[in-house]
């Protein structure tokens, strides 16, 4: 199954789970409320997620005079990909990492940390930036944002159900009480299922961005080398990252935390590197 088909199936499952939870909590009215809530949250995410995440990490715009190498690499890659030059930002963190955000190629931004600029050579940096531009090309930012939003909404509905049980239970639109066993199972299992589906979406998109980035540079080994460095450095210098945005980064900024590793938003680095090293640069389409 292709990564795009997997992503479509996972998003459909996530949306179906959201509506089902709403229906269990409040019948037809609950399902409609869940659907409207999903539309509102997705609208907000679509238009404002880039500004929110950049502000969250204190990212500042960087001009060509401040980072000429980064600007040159991104301009060349954007020209190859036939997309507008994205806005570039610098995150004041020694933890090496990078992410892309924005609802489409016309409103995209790429952010890099101070740490990644210190440890990468130009070939590796090109691989990282090609990976991020591939997320923009593949509309992964929007897909991941929608997945995170719906998963968060499911967790919110489960919390509402929990408080409803504490304060006297819940009833559907016909006044019937909700099955308490089904309600308890929903409170426990729905957020976990939503998280697992969200992680599956994120992992599928990371594999695709690695492949697309390698295709863009015609140099899969440059990105493989960069991922190897990032994996080693992330275990030494950890980033103060919000778990809700961990899926945006090229490597999981929470990978050094044992609890978070149980809920990885990224495929294993070893697997990603092995896939890239198995690619033949001379066999790639020109």
d(Cα 264, Cα 268) in Å, to the nearest integer?
9
Compute the C-alpha angle 180/182/184, nearest 5°: 70
* Beta pairing class for 109-113 and 87-91: parallel
Dihedral through CA 198, CA 273, CA 103, CA 94, nearest 10?
A: 100
**Selected catalytic residue, list 124, 126, 132, 206:** 132
Spell out the alpha helix ranges (H) of 57-175.
68-81, 114-119, 122-137, 140-166
Torsion of CA 278, 283, 285, 286, to 10 degrees: 120
Residue 250 near residue 259 (C-beta atoms within 8 A): no
Enumerate residues 6+ apart whose C-beta is below 8 A from 69. 122, 125
Distance CA 29, CA 263 (A): 33
Work out whether strand 98-101 and strand 60-61 pair parallel, antiparallel, or are unpaired.
unpaired
Catalytic residue status for 132: yes
CA distance 154 to 73: 40
d(CA 201, CA 186): 22
Q: Alpha-carbon distance 241 to 253, whole Å? A: 6
Kindly report the length of the chain.
286
Pairing mode, strands 98-101 and 87-91: unpaired
The Cα 195–Cα 184 span in angstroms is: 18
- Active centre residues (catalytic): 132
């Amino acid at each position: 199954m292709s990564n795009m088909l997997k992503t479509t199936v996972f998003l459909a499952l996530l949306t179906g789970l959201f509506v089902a939870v709403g229906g269990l909590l409040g019948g037809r009215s609950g399902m409609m409320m869940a659907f409207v809530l999903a539309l509102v949250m997705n609208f907000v995410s679509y238009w404002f997620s880039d500004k929110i995440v950049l502000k969250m990490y204190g990212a500042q715009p960087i001009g060509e005079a401040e980072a000429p190498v980064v600007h040159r690499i991104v301009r060349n890659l954007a020209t190859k990909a036939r997309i507008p030059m994205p806005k570039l930002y610098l995150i004041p963190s020694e933890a090496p990492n990078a992410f892309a955000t924005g609802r489409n190629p016309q409103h995209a931004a790429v952010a890099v940390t101070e740490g990644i600029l210190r440890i990468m050579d130009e070939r590796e940096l090109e691989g990282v930036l090609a990976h991020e531009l591939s997320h923009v090309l593949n509309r992964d930012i929007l897909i991941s944002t929608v997945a995170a939003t719906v998963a968060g909404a499911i967790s919110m509905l489960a919390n509402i159900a929990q408080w409803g049980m504490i304060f006297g239970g819940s009833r559907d639109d016909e006044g019937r009480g909700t099955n308490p066993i089904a309600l308890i199972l929903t409170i426990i299992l729905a957020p976990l299922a939503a998280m697992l589906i969200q992680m599956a979406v994120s992992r599928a998109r990371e594999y695709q961005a690695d492949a697309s980035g390698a295709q863009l540079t015609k140099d899969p080994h440059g990105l493989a080398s960069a991922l190897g460095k990032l994996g080693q450095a992330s275990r030494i210098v950890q980033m103060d990252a919000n778990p809700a945005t961990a899926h945006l980064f090229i490597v999981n900024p929470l990978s050094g935390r044992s609890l978070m590793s149980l809920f990885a938003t990224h495929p294993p680095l070893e697997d990603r590197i092995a896939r890239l090293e198995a690619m033949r640069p001379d066999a790639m389409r020109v």
